[in-house]
Structure 1
């Protein structure tokens, strides 16, 4: 019974820790959206998307409103977005998206993660042949939504792929993928259809690297270290 309790306690702690990281990243996205186009979601599509994404992970309403208010203040901190690209051990490509108020701190941290793991940081754009930026929208499967019909209706929005995947809780999730350039078109079309979606610009791998289980542990250790950094928004890799 004691072991079972400790296991549940550990899982709960990890879940809360992950949620805290999500809230921090979404809070930054809200701040950047407000700085970019103002505090009103009805006229700021980036902010509207950030709020939708925040609600999807149960970020408290007062925390969302506080982030918007904080970003609207004249002396509020602003964040710069930077991309870092490099190779982890065993030839695995890694791309990191960051949002930082101290670029020197961020680049020093990222470089140290790669160096200590036996990898190397590369130049911006060096992994363009591996990662392609795509617009990705997700929503929970609704029995009232005919996916075949929806697929046809979304072609005008630039639909490239529509498929169903499982989330971490085992729920069926509809995934819609378009080009980077069609983000706004698809977002508007989905909003007109009344679908509550999460939306994100993601990096899709065009090629993958096969490695063994033992080597994969080295990669995952590095990725975990990078993801723990407060300046990091997202990490992508091409490990199969």
Structure 2
């Protein structure tokens, strides 16, 4: 299951990266780590799917020690905006990938970076647009995120960011009323304790 040290716990490391990206207060991150340690890693990452206004799909990334309680907490907000929980929609609507932004060693050509990507187990690598520091983006499976990151560091890459994200395959266009309702729903869900991050397929 992995211990409370993020270096050796891929799940916790990914969640902390998400929390930092969402500007979650440091105290909240430390509290989550302490809870993870105190409860012998009973705190876990859970994803919830919500069918929102206009048929959009919202994915909630949460960190909790009780999935059922978390769902009950979210349910009142979901119902208020005429939305429902769904299951099994994610694979057809989203790609789940690990993304690592890394600055390569000086004078490393892209061809060499491609070789490194294969070596560390990444699926793809490319140049980031408007990156003044020559940063590259490595793409991998979520399960391989920590492993790929560690191997890149051994190859002297400087890791700028590492995270797992849901990327919509098809985006949904909403009318003004549904768009406003979806925005309010997302705002309320984001304010819910233990919700780390939201993803949606709204155009």
Same fold (TM over 0.5): yes
How does 1:45-194 map onto structure 2 within 5 Å?
Answer: 45-46=9-10, 49=13, 53=17, 71-73=36-38, 78-123=42-87, 125-139=88-102, 144=106, 146=108, 148=110, 149-156=112-119, 157-164=121-128, 174-194=136-156
CA-CA distance at 1:110 after TM superposition: 1.9
Equivalent position of 1:224 in the other structure: 187
Q: Which runs of 5+ in 2 are unaligned?
A: none
| Structure whose CA Rg is larger | 1
> Secondary structure at 1:239's aligned position in 2?
coil
Give the Cα separation in 2 of the matches to 1:175 and 1:221: 32
> Secondary structure at 2:172's aligned position in 1?
coil
Q: Which runs of 5+ in 1 are unaligned?
A: 1-35
> Secondary structure at 2:128's aligned position in 1?
strand
The structure, 1 or 2, with the larger RCO (C-alpha pairs under 8 Å, 6+ apart) is: 2
Equivalent position of 2:3 in the other structure: 38
- Aligned residue pairs total 198
Answer yes or no: is the 8 Å Cα contact 2:51–2:84 preserved in 1.
Answer: yes
Answer yes or no: is the 8 Å Cα contact 2:113–2:125 preserved in 1.
Answer: no
> Secondary structure at 2:54's aligned position in 1?
helix
CA-CA distance at 1:228 after TM superposition: 0.8
How does 1:8-47 map onto structure 2 within 5 Å?
Answer: 36-40=1-5, 44-46=8-10
Greater fraction of residues in helix? 1
User: Normalising by the residue count of structure 1, what TM-score does the alignment of the two structures yield?
Assistant: 0.64
Give the Cα separation in 1 of the matches to 2:63 and 2:24: 22
Give the Cα separation in 1 of the matches to 2:196 and 2:11: 16
CA-CA distance at 1:183 after TM superposition: 2.5
